[in-house]
Structure 1
């Protein structure tokens, strides 16, 4: 036969409070009210007002069907009410942790019927107490309450209880399991810690160390809200450490722990609270992102956003060294049908950089967390010279191709970091040295797809520094063929012009386009972009070029994009070839050579000379004809004059 043994220490009020009046006959039901409110903070004073029956001589307050307080004074007239005042209300469960000099109630319980119970204090000074058994109708058990105290920290308080029947007082039952009161004494305060940490993945191992009192005989680990000692160990010499190992953590290990040690001088002061959190209990992981970017300037502000599809009550942010730990209520966002919480970090310093994760948990189990989000690493960018970010495959790519982005600098950086704006994953590479003294790193993105499109930046850093350089200029990567239509491209006045002329390239589409992109084949610079304007029948944009030079000759294409996906383009327009005629300069030694800055146009010169020759020949022909006509007329006139004589 077995029975249980519990400790009751000044129980706090729970949610159900019953009031009853026991008088002869049937009485009207009283009214019970609580001041200041039914929801209060710990250590506040609470007053229960029981109003009702005229002439009542005694009021009793019940908690969970057990009499809690009795009030026997005459009720106040004319309201006929009684007041029950409870100071420093708390919400404790039965526990065997007690304070120096306090009184304790020990409850011996059995499911079998016995007449009496005996409580025995073990140790050199054996003491015993005897109580009649009482039947508890609510629990259907037999029990006896023993008041013990005042307890002191100068000795150990270990108890067992027994039971017997009246007709056989010398025949006792088997003893209960031992119960040791942990008396918080005034000796040296203990240190408690967990290795590898207090946030533990489910099914992994953790060790709790309790360190403190010299020459301690025993150290006890206590978990709050538990009626049993969690573990007992003899400290290891000479460090005076007690080791409590948990080889496979489960959800029952989540909670708050303290430890105590006992020596010949008595019990130590209890340690600080160690909270063990078990992660991986819930399998839906949240997502963590950084706003505006995971790379931030010193002294800048950053917001970390934790998002979850599951309605956890709280979302909590942690850093790998656990120096930063913050919990926020989750809020449901109807537009995205997700729960989220924002964590704001102001004035970023070196202490803030590192790897962050977030978890979700419910209010009723705050030490049981979900699986973590993916890691999010936060960087600080400094004031050292920015590197350059280049692409050798062009800024507009077709899906399936390979892309290599090159980050380079004339500063000898040891490593480079590539960052895609709007994402949290950053890629870090070591450097390569060139013969010209440049340091660079190539970041290859295989098999280009729609997800490759975006804006990229890169940073440089030295191995001994945790601070990154200033950001490179942004580089846009655009993916063609993602919208199932193509615009058209035309040139005004025509595709062959002279240097110094003005040219307009007109991009048009009958399908909706928010932005038009003009690209020159083989150009190193990024494509031009213009917002579209809706005309009578289509969307269009005009790209104007003033005083063109031969350098602008080449093949042009245009694309369109939508604002909802700026980096995903339509199919390309048909290509258009722009030809700009060359220019020459007349040098001092008399020779002619091509020069884009010349003011003498050979083609115009040839046309002018040809025209002058033609005009000269026409004039000469006219003169000859005129002479011939004049000579003929003159000859005819002379013939007439001779005949007349």
Structure 2
């Protein structure tokens, strides 16, 4: 009977306390957002919820939405709720709770809420200003004014490093004023503002560019400028990431689009300098950085910030621009040079970089899809390697990758231009071998072979000659080459370029042309001869070659499928072996194989026959001149003798 009463009593007690045991029993979880609770449209974000036990099922409710996300974690304590492509509808207030997998009646308390704010790049960025500006004396009143272009919005004031919710205010007109009375050291920092449409309270504009509220600290001198910074680029996998760092004096703060925050700890806190490494750079690391310092005993007595340095992150998804020089090749001192940078996107700003130049790059707004940087009156100091990049106006610290470099080489008057030749000189077939020879007049020089105005190869010869071999000639090797040389210690000053030489590649797939003489047979001196070249293709140019002639071959555009080369008044010097070839107009340095040769045989003049070839005419003219001079000498002698006779 007693046992039955005991069971009845326990049953009643359990029933009376079922609300506590089946309700909130576990500690509330911790919830956080990675990488940031403010994320742009199309970006990715992950909400993480951490419990206190294993074997839990996590529930992620969103305020105003009836269907929460659920995730079971049997072997861990953390659940991840990723949002791979954030939309405006993903903004809102989230909480997290969990319960035991084995007992769904045992729940945790609800976590603190966390908000996801969706940044919409189509909303114009607001502006922010401080009054008064500059370093603020303790006790002064400061007003931060935020101004935008949209109506019916709410403005938010952010302070970097402040974990409290940002202050907000409905605007008066198109702006809002946030007053900070009686400023103290605790108010110093970097401020920015943003706004959210009232109809979409979790959609935000991009934050304004930051402003620094610096509260003067007595006895703290202005810090040195950053000793160095690195231009950081995109890392593996196409995501903007890289390794690098900054060396500042004491204390580094990031003046980013929305906040100012301490980005690292000094590696040498006992010295006068500090290094703040950024092991893996991401897009959010871009921005303008400055440094300041404070006494460890008085953390709010902050010096004024140093001059800023910019961290620009390269985005590999932005197409690489192109760059060109005008004029190309080696430039004469005093000439004007224009460097043109061209890209595909609009609404960008172009930047011109010179290798080794520590000054900020020149920048220019484009005219259309490109920008032109003019260098008037070029001197030796302008020589060097140049490249360009561009940055979207909406993201001033995000850059394209730089263009491939171009060399601005300034001619050195004391360096005579070199000579250039091909070996073999009569062209080369596809797959064959050829060498470009370049000869200068100074020892210890570096020779540069240029093709179509761009650097092709570089050689450091032991003597005066440099050889540039091309072992397996392809169609890409065809073209016009020249060479120059410069001191091995630097390439800013060089010789003027050599005269150009053309590398013509013979393509055996092009049908061989035919050649004929008219009249045929032995040709009498003084006759007119026509050499006809005929092929099977249209839109080509024919070339007439004479064996042993070092002059460039004559060329002619055909009438139909052939071309006629006329040789008027044939003389002995015209005799020889002739052949012809053709080149497609679309590929002016690709040639057919030459035709089979024909022989132009000029008959010898018979005895007493007047040969009025060019050589004989020259001989007759010389003889007549000699006779005239002798006649003048005899006449002068006779005249002098007649004057001596009494």
Per-residue CA shift, 1:399-453, capped at 9, x if unaligned? 221121111134435221111125x3332111243xxxxx111111232222222
More strand by share: 1
SS in 1 for 2:588: strand
Please point out which of 528, 532, 537 is paired with 1:506.
532
Q: Cα distance, 1:318 vs. partner? A: 1.7
Residues 93, 557 of structure 1: alpha-carbon distance in 2 compared, 3 angstrom cutoff: farther
- Partner in structure 1 of residue 245 of structure 2: 207
Please point out which of 462, 468, 473 is paired with 2:499.
473
Please point out which of 290, 312, 319 is paired with 1:258.
290
Q: Cα distance, 1:204 vs. partner? A: 2.5
Indicate the larger mover: 568-577 or 184-193. Answer: 184-193
Does residue 1:578 correspond to 2:600, yes or no? yes
Does residue 1:441 correspond to 2:466, yes or no? yes
Q: Cα distance, 1:205 vs. partner? A: 2.4
CA contact (8 A) 1:195 1:206 kept: no
- Partner in structure 2 of residue 290 of structure 1: 325
Please point out which of 249, 262, 280 is paired with 1:230.
262
* Separation in structure 1 between the aligned mates of residue 279 and residue 227 of structure 2, nearest angstrom: 13
Q: Cα distance, 1:291 vs. partner? A: 3.0
CA contact (8 A) 2:323 2:340 kept: yes
Does residue 1:348 correspond to 2:378, yes or no? yes
* Separation in structure 1 between the aligned mates of residue 331 and residue 500 of structure 2, nearest angstrom: 15
Residues 468, 303 of structure 1: alpha-carbon distance in 2 compared, 3 angstrom cutoff: same
SS in 1 for 2:416: coil
Residues 470, 227 of structure 1: alpha-carbon distance in 2 compared, 3 angstrom cutoff: closer
Please point out which of 254, 264, 275 is paired with 2:310.
275
- Partner in structure 2 of residue 358 of structure 1: 388
- Partner in structure 2 of residue 556 of structure 1: 578
SS in 2 for 1:406: strand
Q: Cα distance, 1:556 vs. partner? A: 2.3
CA contact (8 A) 2:451 2:481 kept: yes
- Partner in structure 2 of residue 568 of structure 1: 590
Residues 200, 449 of structure 1: alpha-carbon distance in 2 compared, 3 angstrom cutoff: closer
* Separation in structure 1 between the aligned mates of residue 568 and residue 498 of structure 2, nearest angstrom: 28
Does residue 1:149 correspond to 2:182, yes or no? yes
- Partner in structure 2 of residue 327 of structure 1: 363
* Separation in structure 1 between the aligned mates of residue 466 and residue 183 of structure 2, nearest angstrom: 74
- Superposition pairs of residues 81-230 of structure 1, within 5 angstroms: 91-92=127-128, 99-101=135-137, 102-104=140-142, 147-151=180-184, 182-183=214-215, 188-193=221-226, 195=228, 197-201=230-234, 202-211=240-249, 219-230=251-262
* Separation in structure 2 between the aligned mates of residue 471 and residue 270 of structure 1, nearest angstrom: 51
CA contact (8 A) 2:130 2:144 kept: no
Please point out which of 540, 546, 567 is paired with 1:544.
567
CA contact (8 A) 2:386 2:406 kept: yes
- Partner in structure 1 of residue 275 of structure 2: 243
Per-residue CA shift, 1:5-38, capped at 9, x if unaligned? xxxxxxxxxxxxxxxxxxxxxxxxxxxxxxxxxx
CA contact (8 A) 2:450 2:483 kept: yes
* Separation in structure 2 between the aligned mates of residue 135 and residue 274 of structure 1, nearest angstrom: 31
- Superposition pairs of residues 483-632 of structure 1, within 5 angstroms: 484-494=510-520, 496-497=522-523, 503-508=529-534, 511-513=537-539, 515-521=541-547, 523-530=549-556, 532=557, 534=559, 539-544=562-567, 548-549=571-572, 553-579=575-601
SS in 1 for 2:476: helix
- Partner in structure 1 of residue 485 of structure 2: 460
Normalising by the residue count of structure 1, what TM-score does the alignment of the two structures yield? 0.56
* Separation in structure 1 between the aligned mates of residue 144 and residue 367 of structure 2, nearest angstrom: 45
Q: Which runs of 5+ in 1 are unaligned?
A: 5-88, 108-132, 139-144, 160-179, 212-217, 333-338, 434-438, 586-595, 600-645
Q: Cα distance, 1:390 vs. partner? A: 0.7
Task: Pick the structure with greater CA Rg.
Answer: 1
Residues 97, 226 of structure 1: alpha-carbon distance in 2 compared, 3 angstrom cutoff: farther
SS in 2 for 1:470: coil
* Separation in structure 2 between the aligned mates of residue 282 and residue 205 of structure 1, nearest angstrom: 19
Q: Cα distance, 1:514 vs. partner? A: 5.5
Residues 486, 566 of structure 1: alpha-carbon distance in 2 compared, 3 angstrom cutoff: same
* Separation in structure 2 between the aligned mates of residue 546 and residue 405 of structure 1, nearest angstrom: 38
Indicate the larger mover: 560-569 or 539-548. Answer: 539-548
* Separation in structure 2 between the aligned mates of residue 501 and residue 366 of structure 1, nearest angstrom: 76
* Separation in structure 2 between the aligned mates of residue 545 and residue 417 of structure 1, nearest angstrom: 44
- Partner in structure 2 of residue 39 of structure 1: none
* Separation in structure 2 between the aligned mates of residue 483 and residue 347 of structure 1, nearest angstrom: 49
- Partner in structure 2 of residue 171 of structure 1: none
Normalising by the residue count of structure 2, what TM-score does the alignment of the two structures yield? 0.56
Residues 97, 379 of structure 1: alpha-carbon distance in 2 compared, 3 angstrom cutoff: same
SS in 1 for 2:284: helix
* Separation in structure 2 between the aligned mates of residue 134 and residue 343 of structure 1, nearest angstrom: 45
* Separation in structure 2 between the aligned mates of residue 574 and residue 311 of structure 1, nearest angstrom: 57
Indicate the larger mover: 339-348 or 263-272. Answer: 263-272
- Superposition pairs of residues 374-385 of structure 1, within 5 angstroms: 374-383=404-413, 384-385=415-416
CA contact (8 A) 1:314 1:330 kept: yes
CA contact (8 A) 1:583 1:598 kept: no
RMSD: 4.5
* Separation in structure 1 between the aligned mates of residue 279 and residue 385 of structure 2, nearest angstrom: 27
* Separation in structure 1 between the aligned mates of residue 404 and residue 228 of structure 2, nearest angstrom: 23
Q: Which runs of 5+ in 2 are unaligned?
A: 1-27, 33-124, 146-165, 172-177, 190-211, 235-239, 608-613, 618-646
* Separation in structure 2 between the aligned mates of residue 448 and residue 96 of structure 1, nearest angstrom: 71
* Separation in structure 2 between the aligned mates of residue 581 and residue 291 of structure 1, nearest angstrom: 54
Indicate the larger mover: 319-328 or 538-547. Answer: 538-547
Q: Cα distance, 1:293 vs. partner? A: 1.4
Indicate the larger mover: 513-522 or 350-359. Answer: 513-522
